[in-house]
């Protein structure tokens, strides 16, 4: 027989005005269980967590807590203003008999000393102090609402280690997939006010969720066909006995009622993102040589070199304060380096998303922000869109057009910033922490947009899974102003460094690093001295070949975009589809060969330089 739960919420219902938020929701937490609570922005996850913490009274349902069980809750926005230091704040969360040494240990584990003044803390430092306070008493249940917000990758990985070692039961709300996959053992999905439970971690959630939504869509389709059949019978069927007719009429009314409920209960629409594409840039986008930047005695960037070509997706990672935003501003020309130079390619159009939302005037309305205060339309990819229609693509309701920015939630502000950035013509996207406050479904759509975006992307993010899914190389901080580029995503960078971002690099050569600011690896006994003639030819002709294949792919996509082609000429449609697949495969192969030979050529040059220096 399973032991009774430490905390049980049963049949929880809650409405705000006439809008139901929770309906018969259930949440059960047993000793040592590790749950993740997932759902769309606005689905009520934070509200349900506050009900579990005893901070909100629901309209209906019951809350049971085992006598003597201790619960600690981490809010999204901790307030330390009443305390003189982070140490005092953490110790204030201890109960009589708790170990004060554990408070200091947790502060140090999360990168704080305990002497920091709350007024001087960054968002990430505030979050770490709040985490230390809820962890220090070693409670029976930890309720954590977005614990990774404002934390850098190194701090997230330290937090994962601390939570793995904790004996507390966990309920986690987070948009960080990797964090949820690492820590969760069971998943609770809050969808349209109702909870569903999966006895597996987050890694199995999305396939399970998609299966449920597919079943619902099939059921709605069957219901619609039944209604059509009954309506046809009533209009054209042979009259039978009056009672039988009345019974079928009542059945039709019942089916229509079911369809109305099904429509009302349909899952929230997906975000529809599309970038306003400018004319294509030149193949060379950015070339930086010898970049350096310091503020006083603090060196943020030292002798940094990089080449960024059209179509590259470069991610920047490192601890908070390492200089990621400073480096990206120098690469885009928004900030002058102390030394070194940046050379820009031709025809560049840059669109920027700022992590601090500084472009948003809190008093301005949503529609005025998107249109610039003039008119009620925006131009997206050459087509005029009414502002209400464009807002709906980002899940805003029509009545929110006149809503001031200050009244929006964090997730809504994040979506608005994306809508604003994507409305401007661009062939270079600069995204500084775009994943903050976005739900998992919106992140999926953003990831797909970046995958299809034909231009160049510079991305600052602490979301390891998002980086793995979107970037082609990682520029990582190595400390003391040193930055090195690694081919691949975050996981590839870890394999090459032998450690994650913000962690001291292990003694392991990063053969795929392309930054010329890094120390060249020592040549192995079998080091190559030169490219073969065939490789030299491939390297020289690859850019032209890639351009031709890109043009061919666009031509074929234009042909297949004709909705009448399949019915008019099925053979032409099939031939074009096969040719498109072949061209895409060939382009991927040429790009892979080109990148491999570029890296090999740079490695040969580095080895030659090291040999001359010896």
Measuring CA to CA, which residue among 505, 512, 518, 459 is closest to residue 488? 512
The 10s digit of each residue's pLDDT in 454-470 is 889 999 988 999 999 88
Element (H, E) at 377: strand 377-380
Residue 36 pLDDT > 50: yes
Q: What integer pLDDT is reported at residue 385 of this predicted model?
A: 85
Q: Which helix (H) or strand (E) element contains residue 155?
A: helix 153-165
- Look up tokens 């299966």; give the residue: 211
Of residues 238 and 522, the one with the higher pLDDT is 238
Strand order in the sheet with 313-317: 350-353, 428-432, 456-460, 313-317, 473-479, 482-487
Distances (CA, A) of 123 to 1, 126, 212, 476, 479: 45, 5, 38, 21, 21
> DSSP letters of 456-494?
EEEEE---HHHHHHH-SEEEEEEETTEEEEEES-HHHHH
Structure tokens given for 210: 């998609």
Are the C-beta atoms of residues 352 and 421 closer than 8 Å to each other?
yes
Tokens describing residue 487: 């081919």
Residue 243 has pLDDT above 70, yes or no: no
pLDDT over 90 at 195, yes or no:
yes
Question: How far is Cα 580 from Cα 32, in angstroms, rounded to an integer?
Answer: 52
Confidence of residue 198 (pLDDT cuts 50, 70, 90): very high
| Residues in contact with 158: Cβ distance below 8 Å, sequence separation at least 6, in sequence order | 109, 110, 111
pLDDT at 357: 56
* 567 sits in which H/E element: helix 565-568
Those residues with Cβ within 8 angstroms of residue 209's Cβ, 6 or more apart along the chain or in another chain: 189
pLDDT tens-digit readout, 4-25:
899 999 999 998 777 788 998 9
Residue count of the chain: 614
- Could you tell me the sign of the dihedral formed by the alpha carbons of 373, 379, 384, 387, in that order? negative
How many of the other CB atoms lie within 10 Å of CB of 300? 22
Q: What is the pTM (predicted TM-score) of this model?
A: 0.68
Task: Give the residue among 172, 167, 192, 169 at the shortest CA–CA distance from 182.
Answer: 172
Query: What's the CA angle centered on 434, arms 127 and 112, to 5 degrees?
Result: 20
**Residues near 120 by Cβ (< 8 Å), separated by ≥ 6?**
none
Q: What are phi and psi of 586, to 5 degrees?
A: -65, -40
Confidence check: pLDDT of 2 > 80 = no
Band (77; pLDDT cuts 50, 70, 90): confident
Distance separating alpha carbons of residues 578 and 575, to the nearest angstrom: 5
DSSP-derived secondary structure letter, 454:
-
In this prediction, residue 257 has a pLDDT band, given cuts at 50, 70 and 90, of low
Give the residue-averaged pLDDT of 430-457. Answer: 82
β 456-460/428-432 pair status: parallel
pLDDT band at 169 (very low <50, low <70, confident <90, very high): very high
d(Cα 100, Cα 102) in Å, to the nearest integer?
5
Taking the CB of residue 214, how many other CB atoms lie within 10 A of it?
10
Give the mean pLDDT of 150-168: 89
Q: What is the DSSP letter of 433?
A: S
Q: DSSP for 236-287?
A: HSPP--HHHHHHHHHHHHHHHHHHHHHHHTSPPPPP-----B-SPPPSEEEE
pLDDT in tens, 272-325: 666 666 667 778 899 999 999 999 889 999 999 999 998 899 999 998 888 998
- Reported as a pLDDT band with limits 50, 70 and 90, residue 343 is very high
Helix axes 205-236, 242-264, angle to 10 degrees: 150
Span of 48-57, 179-188, 571-580 with lowest mean pLDDT? 571-580
Q: Which residue reads 């002497």 in tokens?
A: 115
pLDDT averaged over every residue in the chain: 82
pLDDT tens for 369-426 read 888 877 788 877 777 888 898 888 887 888 888 888 888 776 777 788 888 877 778 8
Q: How confident is the model at residue 230 (pLDDT cuts 50, 70, 90)?
A: low
CA distance 140 to 419: 42
pLDDT at residue number 28: 95
Tokens 């490219």 appear where? 531
Q: How far is the C-alpha of 182 from the C-alpha of 7, rounded, in Å?
A: 23
Q: Using a pLDDT cut of 90, give the percent of the chain over it.
A: 33
Give the per-residue pLDDT at 13: 94
- 614 vs 477, residue with greater confidence: 477
Q: Can you spell out the DSSP letters for 11-70? A: EEEEEETTEEEEEEEEEEE-TT-EEEEE--TTSSHHHHHHHHTTSS--SEEEEEE-TT--
Average pLDDT, integer, range 68-83: 92
pLDDT per position as a tens digit, 474-531? 999 998 899 999 998 999 888 888 766 656 666 544 444 444 444 434 333 345 567 7
Q: What are phi and psi of 531, to 5 degrees?
A: -75, 150
pLDDT at residue number 511: 40
Average pLDDT over residues 233-246: 52
Under the banding of pLDDT at 50, 70 and 90, the label for residue 602 is confident
User: Structure tokens of 464?
Assistant: 């390891």
| Number of Cβ within a 10 Å radius of residue 121 | 17
- Cα–Cα distance for residue pair 310/283, rounded to 1 Å: 5
Strand partners, 287: 307, 343
- Dihedral angle of Cα 212, 213, 215, 219, to the nearest 10 degrees: 140
| Percentage of the chain exceeding pLDDT 70 | 81
**Which of 118-132, 435-449, 557-571 is predicted most confidently?**
118-132
Q: What would the DSSP string read from start to end of 509-536?
A: --TTB--TTSPPPPPPTT---S--HHHH
């Amino acid at each position: 027989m399973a032991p009774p739960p430490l905390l049980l919420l049963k049949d929880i219902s809650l409405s705000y005005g006439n809008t139901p938020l929770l309906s018969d929701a259930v949440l059960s937490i047993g000793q040592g269980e590790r749950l993740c609570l997932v759902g769309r922005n606005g689905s009520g996850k934070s509200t349900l967590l506050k009900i579990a913490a005893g901070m909100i009274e629901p309209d209906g349902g019951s809350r049971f807590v085992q006598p003597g069980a201790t619960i600690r809750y981490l809010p999204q926005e901790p307030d330390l203003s009443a305390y003189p230091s982070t140490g005092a704040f953490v110790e204030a969360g201890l109960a009589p008999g708790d170990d004060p040494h554990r408070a200091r240990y947790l502060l140090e584990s999360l990168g704080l000393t305990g002497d920091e003044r709350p007024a001087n803390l960054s968002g990430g430092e505030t979050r770490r102090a709040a985490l230390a306070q809820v962890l220090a008493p070693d409670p029976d249940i930890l309720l954590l609402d977005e614990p990774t917000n404002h934390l850098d990758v190194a701090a997230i990985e330290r937090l994962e280690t601390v939570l793995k070692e904790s004996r507390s039961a966990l309920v986690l709300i987070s948009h960080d997939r990797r964090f949820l996959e690492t820590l969760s053992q069971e998943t609770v999905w809050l969808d349209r006010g109702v909870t569903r439970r999966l006895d597996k971690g987050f890694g199995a959630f999305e396939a399970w969720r998609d299966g449920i939504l597919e079943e619902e869509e099939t059921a709605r389709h069957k219901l619609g066909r039944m209604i059509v059949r009954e309506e046809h019978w009533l209009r054209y069927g042979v009259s039978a006995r009056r009672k039988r007719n009345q019974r079928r009429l009542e059945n039709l009314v019942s089916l229509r009622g079911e369809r109305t409920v099904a429509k009302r209960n349909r899952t929230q629409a997906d975000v529809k993102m599309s970038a306003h594409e400018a004319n294509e840039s030149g193949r060379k986008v950015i070339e930086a040589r010898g970049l350096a930047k310091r503020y006083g005695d603090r060196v943020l960037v030292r002798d940094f070199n990089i080449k960024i070509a059209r179509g590259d997706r470069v991610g920047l990672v490192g601890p908070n304060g390492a200089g990621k935003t400073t480096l990206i501003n120098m690469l885009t020309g928004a900030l002058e380096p102390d030394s070194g130079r940046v050379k820009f390619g031709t025809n560049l159009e840059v669109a920027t998303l700022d992590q601090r939302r500084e472009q948003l005037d809190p008093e301005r309305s949503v529609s005025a922000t998107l249109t610039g205060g003039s008119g009620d339309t925006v131009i997206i990819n050459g087509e005029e869109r009414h502002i209400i229609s464009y807002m709906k693509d980002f899940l805003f309701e029509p009545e929110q057009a006149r809503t001031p920015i200050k009244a929006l939630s964090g997730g809504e502000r994040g979506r608005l910033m994306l809508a604003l950035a994507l409305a401007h013509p661009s062939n270079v996207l600069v995204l500084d922490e775009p994943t903050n406050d976005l739900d998992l479904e919106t992140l999926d759509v953003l990831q797909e947009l970046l995958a299809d975006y034909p231009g160049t992307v510079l991305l600052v993010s602490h979301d390891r899974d998002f980086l793995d899914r979107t970037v082609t190389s990682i520029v990582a901080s190595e400390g003391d102003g040193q930055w090195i580029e690694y081919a691949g995503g975050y996981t590839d960078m870890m394999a090459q460094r032998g450690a994650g971002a913000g962690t001291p690099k292990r003694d392991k050569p990063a053969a795929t690093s392309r930054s010329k600011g890094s120390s060249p690896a020592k040549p192995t006994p079998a080091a190559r001295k030169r490219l073969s003639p065939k490789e030299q030819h491939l390297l020289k002709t690859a850019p032209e070949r890639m351009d031709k294949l890109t043009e061919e792919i666009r031509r074929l996509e234009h042909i297949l975009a004709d909705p009448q082609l399949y019915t008019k000429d099925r053979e032409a449609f099939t031939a074009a589809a096969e040719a498109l697949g072949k061209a895409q495969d060939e382009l991927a192969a040429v790009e892979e060969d080109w990148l491999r030979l570029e890296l090999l050529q740079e490695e040969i040059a580095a080895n030659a330089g090291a040999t001359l220096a010896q």
